Amino acid sequence: MTEPGDNWSAWDRQHCWHPFTQHAEWASGGEELILVKGEGPWLFDADGKRYFDGNSSIWTNIHGHRHPRIDAALRAQLDEVAHTSFLGFGNPRAAELAKRLTDFFPSGSLERVFFSDDGSTAVEVAVKMAIQFRQQSGEPERTGFIAFENAYHGDTMGAASLGGVSVFFDRFRSFGFPATRVASLADLHSLPAEEVGRAAAIVLEPLIQGVNEMRPWPAGQLAEIRSWCDEQGVHLILDEVMTGFGRTGTMFACQQEEVIPDFLCLAKGLTGGYLPLAATLTTGPVFDAFLGGRDRTLHYGHSYTANQLGCAAALASLRVFKEDRVLEKLPPRVEALTQGLKAIAHPCVHEVRQCGLIAGLELRLESGERFSGEQRMGERVCVAARAHGLLTRPIKDTIVMMPPLCSTEEEIAEACAALGRAVKEVG
């Protein structure tokens, strides 16, 4: 509760360790902002100042903060129970959520759901299933993974082994498992046959790579990768942790190229951005390979697997999608984002990359070269944007604009204008 005497900033500096954060700088101020409240796409700091949630609270929020129907679903669930074990027991919310998630795909395709906690664990689950599946299907030699350069699949050791963003992963490379890296479809086609024959699965972020400075893939590539997988007998793992739940304009990115993966990893937006919950969807044939004796069991799970509050939030979020016709309202909002970013006519704007309501505005020197790292252009622009009522984070010098799906055209235009003012001030 908010107590006037509380000193959150001091306690934060004394006791918290923030993710991806250099604390030698954090303590010097400027960076820190204590967020205490939300309302739709807006956030409020401890002084009551209002900000637009320009990156959907690190890519999680979908229908806005304190959505009345999601809040009500959580309150109702609290009157039942918050959490029960999924090890040895079922629960109504998880059962219904599994049913609703599989209903997005043709019957007989993705029909099983394994719940976990975060995007990273959703990927870990897919990795373990993919390996064990081969051991139990007479192809134990298929132990390899193919992943894309500059990919991001999370920070736990297994998910990180598939990642390709060097600043996050190089330090830990020798502690994880090796993966074959490709940069393009052409690379994939030129892999030696023996290497492909040893591959269990290929993993990618469909339509757009997020942490790689918001870089969309060429149209049609996903469908071609699916065909390649079918020809080569390699499983396709799609990491839709960022792209899932309407962010790209369709419920799932893979639907845009009519691709159904063998494993689909979901997290961030699954609960509308309310609670940590993840799901790994897979097919009947994969599931069936784990049936039989005890030695065929998937020995994997977490304490909070299928948490009832999380599942209740996810179900409520899916109902909001339907009741509010969220996907139908997206095209003008996507267009507002396109136009709003286009209007930022500044010589430092090198490129705008967009896929649905996911966008990155890359800043460079007028010569087209990148700013030096020490200049921290991206960071400085985001700090400047706060004064104009916009919160977001950069990836290097690419400013992420990923508004909650509930944002109106006017709100998106306003947020882009705030970013434009910040670019002008700093650039």
Ligand X SMILES: *Cc1c(COP(=O)(O)O)cnc(C)c1O
Binding site for ligand X (CB under 6 A): 118-120, 152-154, 205, 210, 239, 241-242, 267-268
Report the alpha-carbon angle 389-392-393, nearest 5: 145
At 25, which helix (H) or strand (E)? helix 23-26
How many whole angstroms separate alpha carbon 41 and alpha carbon 201?
A: 38
Q: Which CB atom, from 110 or from 241, has the smaller least distance to ligand X?
A: 241
Q: Which CB atom, from 147 or from 318, has the smaller least distance to ligand X?
A: 147
Q: Which CB atom, from 203 or from 289, has the smaller least distance to ligand X?
A: 203
Q: Which CB atom, from 211 or from 381, has the smaller least distance to ligand X?
A: 211
DSSP character string of 43-59: EEETT--EEEETTHHHH
Cβ distance 134 to 201 under 8 Å? no
Q: Which CB atom, from 336 or from 405, has the smaller least distance to ligand X?
A: 405
**CA neighbours closer than 13 Å in the CB half-sphere of residue 72:** 6
Least Cβ distance, residue 284 to ligand X (angstroms):
25
Cβ distance 355 to 254 under 8 Å? no
What are the CA-CA distances from residue 97 to residues 115, 165, 176, 298, 307 (Å)? 10, 33, 33, 21, 11
Q: Which CB atom, from 126 or from 390, has the smaller least distance to ligand X?
A: 126
> Edge-to-edge strands of the sheet including 42-45?
35-39, 42-45, 50-53, 390-391
Least Cβ distance, residue 161 to ligand X (angstroms):
13
